[in-house]
């Protein structure tokens, strides 16, 4: 049952060294405040999962939080490379980073399989390409009905999923809208979940009967973190800071500049 707490307490209680952690958000609702708290609490050797590791994971990787990364696209969208991610993969700085790399379609399938309590996700994917040669977690199965060869990937079952949402009500139900990515699947696939929200309201008020709501009994911890997705955005609250996304290229290119930026702005 969802418990309200301070963000620092929610992270301390739910994220431990060595955990498999998915901080999800597909460009929208990226849980920056929670990720920064993990950095401040100096967690180590996390296996980070995310379809689109961007600036937040660049920061976590550059600060030595991650030992492994499971992902499908690692870049600063529309801008270019993630320099801290590249430095870790190309030079092992600040530590080596084991990669498990997939395509978006496969990651989405693996989250769905996790949420559905299945051992693997199945897709018509990876035909003719090189990723299966470097990732033994991509296998093939035969459809028992048609004989078609299909790709299979293991279900994603994180120790903890962390997302940001617009609102929680006082009972601890969570409401999100806009680009919802794989956040629902991530929470339902995980053993524990931490949700940061823009605000807590008495009642969600009028809404579509199909509104995306995570019932309180699917969420472990809720923490209020206004602007907790910034420089990503929260539909209905604030916009994506595209200027910052462009500026990150210069902040992160060099190790020393990066570390002093983190010291000034995050630590």
Partner 1 sequence: MSSSPAEMMIVAAARALSNDDVCFVGIGAPSAACNLARLTHAPDIVLIYESGTIGARPSVLPLSIGDGELCDTALTTVSVPEMFGYWLQGGRITVGFLGGAQIDRFANLNTTVIGDYNRPSVRLPGGGGAPEISAHCQRVFITMSMGRRAFVDPLPFMTSFGHGQGGNHRARLGLKTLGPTEVITDLCVLKPDPQTKELTVTSLHPGVTQEEVSAACGWKLQFAADVAETPPPTEEELAVLRQLEERTQRAHAAAG
User: Nearest distance from residue 108's CB to partner 1, in Å?
Assistant: 4
User: Nearest distance from residue 183's CB to partner 1, in Å?
Assistant: 8
Answer yes or no: are the C-beta atoms of 170 and 13 closer than 8 Å: no
User: Nearest distance from residue 204's CB to partner 1, in Å?
Assistant: 19
Residue identified by tokens 């093939």 is 140
Nearer CB in complex with partner 1: 36/43? 36
User: Nearest distance from residue 139's CB to partner 1, in Å?
Assistant: 16
User: Nearest distance from residue 16's CB to partner 1, in Å?
Assistant: 28
Beta strands in 54-107 (DSSP E): 66-71, 98-101
- 97: which 2 tokens? 């980073």
Beta strands in 133-177 (DSSP E): 139-142, 149-154, 160-169, 174-176
User: Nearest distance from residue 41's CB to partner 1, in Å?
Assistant: 27
Q: Nearest-CA neighbor of 138 among 154, 124, 158?
A: 154
Nearer CB in complex with partner 1: 103/196? 103
Nearer CB in complex with partner 1: 146/202? 146
Site residues (vs partner 1, CB under 8 A) = 26-28, 51-52, 71-75, 77-79, 81-82, 85-86, 89-90, 101, 103-105, 108-109, 111-112, 123-131, 134, 148-149, 178-182, 184-185, 230-231, 233, 235, 238-246
Give how far Cα 187 sits from Cα of 1, 182, 183, 191, 192, Å: 13, 9, 6, 8, 8
Phi-psi category of residue 42: left, alpha or beta, with phi > 0 → left and psi -120 to 50 → alpha = left
255-265 vs 242-252: helix crossing angle, rounded to 10: 130
Query: Helical H runs in 102-211?
Result: 104-115, 131-134, 183-189
Answer yes or no: are the C-beta atoms of 20 and 43 closer than 8 Å: no
Nearer CB in complex with partner 1: 26/258? 26
User: Nearest distance from residue 205's CB to partner 1, in Å?
Assistant: 20
Answer yes or no: are the C-beta atoms of 48 and 23 closer than 8 Å: yes
């Amino acid at each position: 049952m969802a418990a309200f707490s301070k963000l620092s307490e929610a992270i301390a209680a739910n994220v431990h060294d060595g955990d498999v952690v998915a901080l999800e958000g597909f460009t929208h609702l990226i849980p920056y405040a929670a990720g920064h708290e993990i950095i401040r609490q100096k967690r180590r050797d996390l296996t980070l999962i995310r379809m689109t590791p961007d600036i937040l994971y660049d920061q976590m990787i550059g600060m030595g939080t991650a030992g492994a990364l499971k992902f499908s696209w690692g870049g600063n969208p529309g801008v270019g490379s993630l320099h801290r991610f590249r430095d870790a993969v190309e030079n092992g700085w600040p530590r080596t980073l084991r990669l498990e790399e997939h395509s978006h379609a496969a990651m989405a399938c693996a989250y769905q399989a996790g949420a559905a309590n299945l051992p693997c996700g199945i897709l018509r994917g990876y035909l003719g390409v090189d990723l299966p040669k470097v990732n033994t977690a991509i296998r093939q199965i035969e459809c028992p009905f048609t004989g078609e060869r299909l790709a299979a990937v293991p279900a994603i079952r994180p120790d903890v999923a962390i997302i940001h949402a617009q609102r929680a009500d006082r009972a601890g139900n969570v409401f999100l809208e806009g680009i919802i990515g794989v956040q629902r699947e991530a929470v339902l696939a995980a053993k524990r979940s931490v949700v940061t929200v823009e605000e807590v309201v008495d009642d969600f008020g009028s809404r579509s009967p199909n509104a995306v709501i995570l019932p309180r009994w699917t969420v472990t911890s809720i923490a209020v973190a206004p602007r907790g997705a910034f420089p990503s955005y929260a539909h209905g609250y604030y916009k994506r800071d595209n200027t910052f996304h462009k500026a990150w290229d210069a902040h992160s290119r060099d190790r020393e500049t990066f570390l002093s930026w983190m010291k000034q702005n995050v630590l």
